[in-house]
Structure 1
Amino acid sequence: MGRTDVLDVRAILRTPVMAAVVAGALGVSLLFSASPASAAPAGVPQPYIGPDPVGGGSSLDTIARLDGVALLDQLVHLTPRERGEFLDLHPDAIVDLAATPPAPAAVTTWWSRTAPLARAALAAELPGVLGNLDGIPYAVRDLANRTFLTQTVFAIRDQLEAGVGRAMEDELQARLKMLGAVERSLLTGPSGEKRSLVALDVTQQGRAVISVGDLTDADYVTFFVPGMYVGVAEQLVDWTGNAETSLIEQQQWLAELGLEGEVATVAWIGYHTPTVVNIAGMDLAYQGRDALTGSLQGLDALRGGTGTVLASGTPGTSVAVADSGPFVSIVAHSYGSTAAMLALQENDVSVDALIVVGSPGSPATSVDDLKVTGGNVWVAAADSDPVPRSGVFGSQPLDEAFGANRFSVKAMTDPITGEQLDDIEGHVYYFWPGTTSVRNTALIAIGQGALATTDTAPAKATAK
């Protein structure tokens, strides 16, 4: 257990701020689970709630032994006073619920069969928990997380005004800086599309997921997964800007090609990215693997059928099939590509397109190891990017034997629009506006990989 002098846990539990602040007080991270826990399916009788017939104790003690959907079911049936008492007596139960939540599909089923008033009460009292449960509708999560964000900011300011030691003041000020970055990242950008706070962890250096556009209705959804040194406090604003740049590019290409469809992009800083002290290890990649899996499974639970909207035959081409969900892409940079490939290799999740840039590699040896529809995997790297040459994490997706499609990031004149596009230098500018890289990744993300350019054979197709 970590430090217990950060905050008064019992006092915080009596306010709606409790979820992340409990995490800080207990020295653990509440949100972004390492792996979704299984949950009892709908229709299974719930455990007896009342005086414990075996070990003695109150009904609240019995509830505290539950987990997943079973615990959520009992929490919604308690009165506000009883929930307050439960939080006082059993804070670890809520910590465990957030740390190992039910599978997203189970959460979606639970939410659909829970009365609206009970949902509202639980969201109001536990916004930091419900706002981060994959499988709950995105509009509900956005409202809960924004509430949680505001309340956490006020709680920290109140504590600072009350007076703390120098070390604690520095820690709390760092959290305020991180939360301020989240607030700025939620401001509407040049596309005019609404931004939503899909997930928020306010502990340690923080984690956050922000969508640009409506994930509930979008026909094309793209997750942007970052690599080394991309943290909430310093990079979330720019990372969300990168997601917006791609959204605008995707929208423009849909219009240029005479295609219909709504776009949503996701600035996903859902794991703690490595720094120079831990970049050589795989631990954070595995954390990213499982957190990304939860996000993708949450989308699938709400929308259904990710990986089936467009079916790829020959890599780089696509045909329409039954519309049972959005066309889902991952754009993964650097160390984030390792996490993304681990998710698609080892976990129960699939996507329609995977785009990796500046990748240090992964244990996957070929596209056949990855659950990507039709082997629709794309890779690129700037000539001056040193990371892909490191080979530190296994097979390199740039290698011909890996079987991925190569796309260009070099300067060129767009063969369709005639626009002059810039090249990429180094490791960090793959998402810079006006580059060949942004052009090609946007086309792949809307299922038009056949129009992506290579260094040897630019696409010659024309707009419809």
Structure 2
Amino acid sequence: MLLVAAALLTASMHSLGVVEVPDVPPAHAAPAAVAVVAPRHPAPVPVATGGHTGVEDVATAGGRAFLDGLGALDADELGRAAADRRVVETVQDDPPSAATVARWWVGLHGDERDLLLRCAPSVVGNLDGVPYAVRDVANRATLMTGLADDDTGAAEAAMLGQVRDSLVHEPGDPQRYLVTLDTRGSGRAAISIGDLDTAADVTVVVPGMFFTVTGQMTDFTDTANDLSREQATLAPLATAGGGSGSGVAVVAWMGYRTPDLSNILSLGLAETGAVRLERAVDGLRERPVDPPRLNVVAHSYGSTTAMIALASGRMTADTLTVLGSPGSDVRSAADLAVTDGEVFVGGAHSDPIAGSGYFGTDPGGASFGSTVLDLAGGVQDAAGDVFRRPVGHNDYLEPGTASLHDVALIGIGRGDLVREQVRRGDHDGDSVVGATPDMYLVRPQDLQPRD
């Protein structure tokens, strides 16, 4: 057990594409730790009636009453509310449901929405149920205000600078949208590659240990962009996605605090992260366009987080792919709210975490009921292979890997092609089913991994 823990520490020190430990801000600039706030509103607290609604009423309200109270504030009061710690905690830690927010937002007049967006962007930008394009505008306003504020501390400025850099996209790549921004403590953020308001296929990528906004947000967003490119290349193979939507979007979701050396052996952050992931997916389910096909791709400790969420009864996904997973207390794929047959597990050669079952059951075990990706064949490419197999714990979503290609196929509804690659005749003597030529739609950059 101790050997596995040591491997877990060592293998997770780097992101999927980052090879350095995140820079530590100067000690004098370190932000105060922020405790996770438990839900403060077991039932909506009604806003005062028969008189003027003020900031105090909003700060102590919950559910629809919280939203209605916001809508009743004037410009000055909205500004004060957005800076009130209690309001921030409600929005970030205990918000109304996405369905409640969506109904509220649709019911507002245009000038009411404009006032909220102008005076309380940090509130509007982090409410699941508000259109993602609106949230992007709001969160970018918060971002730029923070960067321009002389009172912003060095640690927070570094975090915001990383987010700003993460929003830059190459010509020809999809627009990037800032859909979550929480500047408290070590921060939380989520950036979408592509339009979440209209995409037929949405893939949410959940990171593992030692990921921080300040240390890895730019690289993590670029990794999401690599997956988006791979999906775009495979678009001719895609099956029909969600309803009337079109195109793909990939979310670099650093929406929870990941473990560090002080809490690496605990499941507490996974459990808190699972609740936040449930809310993020809830928002996608409530968008005005038909809900997308929803794919979750989770690496390392993020896979534990995702499986907790999908076993909670509060979240569903069309597909789940876990990579380098240390396991969870979920015993079977049947216990996950994922479409039957659409749970995939990848373990690379020389990955000490994959298959360890450190946090419980190994999702790649024979009894779990998942499809195990054909990734662990060895360091050297097999003769004739178009893609190389990943090596180690942090190579899964690198361009040119079989794992990135498989994840992209799953994300466009072609898990059947992935299963063809791994299906073996254990009982009837059949050989491995060969891949069809149209599975290998490869771009030059796939064979030239990003530095």
- Cα deviation digits, residues 229-288 of structure 1 (max 9, x gap): 121112111111111111111111123569895111000111111123311100110111
Q: Secondary structure at the match of 1:222?
A: strand
Determine if the alignment matches structure 1 residue 196 to structure 2 residue 177: yes
Correspondence 1:342-421 to 2 at 5 A: 342-409=308-375, 410=377, 420-421=386-387
Report the residue type matching 1:246 in the other structure.
L
CA contact (8 A) 2:345 2:372 kept: yes
2:249 is matched with which residue?
264
Report the residue type matching 1:337 in the other structure.
S
* Stretch of structure 1 that moved more, 258-267 or 339-348: 258-267
1:463 is matched with which residue?
438
2:72 to 74, 77, 91: 77
Q: Secondary structure at the match of 1:216?
A: coil
CA contact (8 A) 1:34 1:290 kept: no
CA contact (8 A) 2:231 2:412 kept: yes
State the alpha-carbon separation in 1 of the partners of residues 213 and 221 from structure 2.
10
CA contact (8 A) 1:213 1:263 kept: yes
Report the residue type matching 2:263 in the other structure.
N
Correspondence 1:139-218 to 2 at 5 A: 139-155=133-149, 158-159=150-151, 172-189=153-170, 191-218=172-199
2:225 is matched with which residue?
244
Determine if the alignment matches structure 1 residue 67 to structure 2 residue 62: yes
Report the residue type matching 2:151 in the other structure.
Q
1:133 is matched with which residue?
127
Cα separation, partners in 2 of 1:190 and 1:278, compared to 1, 3 Å: farther
Cα separation, partners in 2 of 1:364 and 1:393, compared to 1, 3 Å: same
- Cα deviation digits, residues 411-462 of structure 1 (max 9, x gap): 6679xxx762112111001001001001111111111011112285354334
RMSD: 3.0
* Post-superposition offset of 1:407: 1.0
State the alpha-carbon separation in 1 of the partners of residues 239 and 318 from structure 2.
21
* Post-superposition offset of 1:371: 0.0
Report the residue type matching 2:210 in the other structure.
Y
Q: Secondary structure at the match of 1:278?
A: coil
* Post-superposition offset of 1:139: 0.5
Determine if the alignment matches structure 1 residue 333 to structure 2 residue 318: no
* Post-superposition offset of 1:159: 2.3
State the alpha-carbon separation in 1 of the partners of residues 115 and 270 from structure 2.
36
Q: Secondary structure at the match of 1:177?
A: helix
State the alpha-carbon separation in 2 of the partners of residues 383 and 47 from structure 1.
61
Cα separation, partners in 2 of 1:405 and 1:72, compared to 1, 3 Å: same
1:289 is matched with which residue?
274
> Which runs of 5 or more structure 2 residues have no equivalent in the other structure?
1-29, 425-431, 440-451
* Post-superposition offset of 1:392: 1.7
CA contact (8 A) 1:211 1:265 kept: yes
TM-score (norm 1): 0.78
Q: Secondary structure at the match of 1:198?
A: strand
* Post-superposition offset of 1:75: 2.3
* Stretch of structure 1 that moved more, 356-365 or 125-134: 125-134
State the alpha-carbon separation in 1 of the partners of residues 174 and 423 from structure 2.
33
Cα separation, partners in 2 of 1:84 and 1:357, compared to 1, 3 Å: closer
CA contact (8 A) 1:337 1:356 kept: yes
* Post-superposition offset of 1:79: 2.2
Cα separation, partners in 2 of 1:80 and 1:331, compared to 1, 3 Å: same
Report the residue type matching 1:226 in the other structure.
P
CA contact (8 A) 1:450 1:459 kept: no
* Post-superposition offset of 1:389: 3.9
- Cα deviation digits, residues 171-202 of structure 1 (max 9, x gap): x2222222111111100136520000000111
Q: Secondary structure at the match of 1:395?
A: coil
Report the residue type matching 1:159 in the other structure.
D
Q: How many residue pairs were aligned?
A: 394
CA contact (8 A) 1:218 1:262 kept: yes
2:208 is matched with which residue?
227
1:321 is matched with which residue?
none
* Stretch of structure 1 that moved more, 426-435 or 232-241: 232-241
Cα separation, partners in 2 of 1:425 and 1:94, compared to 1, 3 Å: closer
State the alpha-carbon separation in 1 of the partners of residues 40 and 410 from structure 2.
30
Greater RCO, CA 8 A, separation 6+: 2
Q: Secondary structure at the match of 2:287?
A: helix
* Post-superposition offset of 1:463: 3.0
Q: Secondary structure at the match of 2:321?
A: strand
Q: Secondary structure at the match of 2:163?
A: helix
State the alpha-carbon separation in 1 of the partners of residues 386 and 182 from structure 2.
41
State the alpha-carbon separation in 1 of the partners of residues 82 and 296 from structure 2.
38
2:94 is matched with which residue?
100
CA contact (8 A) 2:324 2:348 kept: yes
CA contact (8 A) 2:46 2:65 kept: no
Q: Secondary structure at the match of 1:193?
A: coil
State the alpha-carbon separation in 2 of the partners of residues 46 and 174 from structure 1.
37
2:11 is matched with which residue?
none
CA contact (8 A) 2:179 2:191 kept: yes
State the alpha-carbon separation in 1 of the partners of residues 57 and 423 from structure 2.
64
Over the matched positions of the two proteins, sequence identity in percent amounts to: 38
